[in-house]
């Protein structure tokens, strides 16, 4: 994930607001320059395990989280975060971790698709209305534009030089805060043996998988569209036509396939079509944390593994376990 601060050019002096963006997911944080400046810095510092710094004319901020917290307590208001994701429950760990680490600062952590959050951010900016203080999104194309429009607050944490250069703005306008990937096969191991798991996306066309696959709509978002595009580039549109004929259960979001497999596992009446066990396999999602029987296998061929930059899902776990 990446993070960068938004700057409100109409606000006179620069104030901070954090914003995040995803590559599926890659995430960015931005600071709007209108309020809660120290709290925003605290938020970004907690995400990165550090605090704000300086790029070029802005030196690295070596303040500790405790020092930032003390300063933030002098400000009023709550911290509003826009986070890319499919379900509000994905932020449970972050909310819990934040409340434990910074109990006196209210956190409004809103989860929705990145393509909706970035639109709200733009519309709020154009109408001079405050929307979010921090954004964690996968719409990477927005970040450079927001920087060029002077809407971001530059920030460099103490670990700035340790961050992946390819995902980090050299001026500190946006930063990566987590790395993840998808395109792996996830399956219900109580029904599917490891030896039967597909070894390539071409294997998904095997008749034995008919009625057993749950997948995200190819046009659901930019990340999923890219995943399908590289599969089609390799196998052709004939693959997509044949895959669609596999009685696939199509869903929205990348969290949903794992939920469907979990729910089918727990519901003996979920059998559908040609599958007596319902949906047991996907390649467009990830296993829910509370379903240990759902296993993950990476396709062995390197060109078939879809790796993205910091994933918003990763951010949630990263924030909760390492920084809050």
| Pairwise pLDDT comparison (204 vs 45), residue with the higher score | 204
Model confidence at 237, pLDDT cuts 50, 70, 90, reads: very high
CA atoms within 13 A on the CB side of 34: 17
Average pLDDT, the chain: 76
pLDDT tens, residue by residue, 25-62: 344 444 443 334 455 555 555 555 443 333 457 788 88
> Measured on CA atoms in the order 216, 218, 220, 223, is the torsion positive or negative?
positive
CB within 8 A of 53, min separation 6: which ones? 59, 60, 61, 62, 155, 156, 157, 158, 160, 172
> What pLDDT does 46 receive?
54
CA atoms within 13 A on the CB side of 175: 31
Show me where the domains of the chain are located: 2-179+312-323, 181-308
pLDDT tens, residue by residue, 265-319: 887 544 444 444 689 999 998 888 778 999 998 886 544 444 433 333 333 333 4
Q: Quick one: fold of 181-308? A: D-Maltodextrin-Binding Protein; domain 2 (3.40.190)
Average pLDDT rounded to a whole number, residues 82-107: 86
Average pLDDT rounded to a whole number, residues 243-261: 93
CA atoms within 13 A on the CB side of 192: 27
Whether 138 has a pLDDT exceeding 70, the answer reads yes
- Other beta carbons less than 10 A from residue 129's beta carbon: 10
The percent of residues in the chain predicted with pLDDT above 90, rounded, is: 31
Q: What is the DSSP letter of 320?
A: I
| Burial category of 237 from C-beta neighbours within 10 Å (exposed 0-12, middle 13-18, buried 19 and up) | exposed
Which of 30, 27, 28, 8 lies closest to 17 in space, CA to CA?
30
């Amino acid at each position: 994930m990446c993070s960068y601060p938004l700057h409100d050019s109409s606000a006179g002096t620069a104030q901070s607001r954090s914003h995040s963006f995803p590559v599926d997911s890659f995430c960015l944080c931005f600071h709007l320059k209108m309020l809660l400046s120290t709290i925003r810095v605290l938020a970004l510092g907690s995400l990165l395990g550090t605090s704000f710094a300086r790029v070029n004319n802005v030196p690295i901020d070596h303040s500790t989280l405790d020092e930032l917290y003390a300063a933030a307590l002098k400000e009023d208001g709550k911290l509003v975060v826009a986070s890319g994701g499919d379900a509000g429950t994905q932020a449970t760990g972050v909310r819990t971790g934040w409340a434990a680490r910074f109990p006196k600062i209210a956190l409004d952590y809103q989860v929705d698709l990145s393509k909706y959050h970035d639109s709200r951010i733009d519309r709020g900016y154009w109408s001079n209305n405050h929307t979010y203080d921090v954004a964690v999104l996968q719409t990477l194309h927005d970040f450079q534009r927001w920087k060029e429009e002077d809407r971001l607050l530059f920030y460099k944490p103490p670990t700035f030089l340790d961050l992946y250069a390819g995902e980090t703005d050299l001026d500190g306008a946006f930063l990566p805060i987590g790395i993840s990937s998808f395109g792996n096969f996830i399956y219900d191991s109580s029904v599917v043996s490891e030896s039967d798991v597909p070894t390539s996306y071409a294997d998904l066309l095997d008749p034995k998988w008919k009625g057993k696959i749950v997948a995200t709509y190819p046009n659901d978002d930019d990340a999923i569209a890219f995943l399908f595009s590289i599969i089609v580039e390799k196998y052709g549109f004939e693959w997509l036509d044949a895959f669609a004929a596999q009685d696939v259960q199509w869903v929205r979001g990348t969290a949903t396939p794992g939920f469907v497999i979990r729910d089918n596992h727990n519901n003996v009446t979920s059998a559908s079509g040609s599958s007596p066990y319902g949906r047991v396999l996907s390649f467009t999602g990830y296993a829910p944390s509370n379903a240990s029987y759902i296993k993950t296998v990476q396709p062995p061929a390197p060109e078939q593994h879809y790796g993205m930059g910091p994933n918003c899902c990763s951010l949630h776990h990263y924030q909760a376990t390492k920084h809050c």
